[in-house]
Amino acid sequence: MEGREKRALHFLILVAYLVVSPSPSAGLLRLAGSGSTRCSGRVEIYKSYYNYNSYSYRYSSWGTVCDDGWDLKDAEVVCRELNCGIALEALGSAYFGQGTETIMLDDVDCSGSETSLNDCRHRGLRTHDCSHSEDAGVVCSETLPQPTISLYSNEVTWGQGIRITCSVSYKFSGGTFILQKTSGSFSQTKPSSTSSVIFNLHNVNFDHDGLYQCQYMKTSQRFNSSPVRLSVTEHNQRRGGYGQRETQTNKKRFKQKPERILTV
């Protein structure tokens, strides 16, 4: 076969391969290594591409990710892509053991909102200055956090205070809690190093009456609790406290003296 015919044949093979094969940027994701589970382990990505110079299939394998710049935002994308909840830890230094294949990605920089690690910025496929002692890993929560809200009492008297607790499962320690009314602009925010936080509302009035919910935020994701109703009433105020003192004073003020009966 002459050189021109060989080149034409190679070109047709290349076209056919590109039609049926995934793009060079496409990839799969998994967690591997010592002590790994479905939702925790060394991050490995599968890549395949075509060598356009030799028109021959060159590479298709799993490879690791370097821990340079690796943080919770990057781990968040991995956990989301694997449907493993949210990121609890972003680990480096080959925490789950060293990989053996090519180091695929380095200097990964995710915003945290991407749906795939392939959408994050990096130095380029197989472009790195790392060794496998720097393999990146993640620990995901497996399930999504579901915050809960609890009131000390669902009814509070006008002018008094109320304590509201927002919490999540103990494994989601850290993060930010937001207490907000489902209508209106009321909102309070508190960071927490644990899995719960307490909000205190003082001197409540009728503007506080309504539905409240807790929002739990970690990295770029937010999760809402079911709403609960807080009712503000003045009923108890009239029976006690200042209202009671006022009533007693009025009774003294308007108590009539007995009439004197004159006899002739």
SS (H, E, C) the chain: CCHHHHHHHHHHHHHHHHHHCCCCCCEEEEEEEEEEECCEEEEEEEEEEEECCCCEEEEEEEEEEECCCCCHHHHHHHHHHCCCCCEEEEECCCCCCCCCCCEEECCCECCCCCCCHHHCECCCCCCCCCCHHHECEEEECCCCCCCEEEECCCEEECCCCEEEEEECCCCCCCEEEEEEECCCCCEEEEEECCCEEEEEECCCCHHHCEEEEEEEEECCEEEECCCEEEEEECHHHHHCCHHHHHHHHHHHHHCCCCCCCCCC
Token pair belonging to 102: 């090519």
Mean pLDDT to the nearest integer, 179-194? 94
Checking if the pLDDT of 10 tops 60, the result is no
Residue 246: per-residue pLDDT: 37
CB 227 within 8 A of CB 150: no
pLDDT confidence of 221, banded at 50, 70, 90? confident
| Prediction pTM value | 0.68
Phi, psi dihedrals of residue 263, rounded to the nearest 5°: -110, 140
Percent of the chain at pLDDT exceeding 90: 64
pLDDT level of residue 50 (50, 70, 90 thresholds): low
Q: Do residues 168 and 195 make contact, with C-beta atoms less than 8 angstroms apart? A: yes
- Reported as a pLDDT band with limits 50, 70 and 90, residue 219 is confident
Q: What is the mean pLDDT of residues 21-35?
A: 71
In whole angstroms, what is the distance from residue 60 CA to residue 180 CA? 50
- State mean pLDDT over 129-144: 95
Cα(first)–Cα(last) distance of the chain, in Å?
153
**Band of residue 49 on the pLDDT scale cut at 50, 70, 90:** low
Residue 144, pLDDT > 70, answer yes
Contact 134, 99 (CB under 8 A): no
The rounded radius of gyration (Å) of the Cα atoms in the chain is 33
Q: Which of 109, 137, 125 is nearest to 48 (CA)?
A: 125
- Per the document, the length of the chain is 264
Q: What pLDDT was estimated at residue 58? A: 54
Q: Which residue has the higher pLDDT, 12 or 169?
A: 169
Q: Return the pLDDT at 2.
A: 55
Cα angle 118-121-122, degrees, rounded to a multiple of 5: 95
Q: What is the mean pLDDT of the chain?
A: 82
The amino acid occupying position 4 is: R
15 vs 88, more confident:
88
CA 213 from centroid of its chain's CA atoms: 16
Give the pLDDT confidence score for residue 7 in this predicted structure.
52
- The domains found in the chain, sorted by start residue, are 3-140 (3.10.250.10), 148-235 (2.60.40.10)
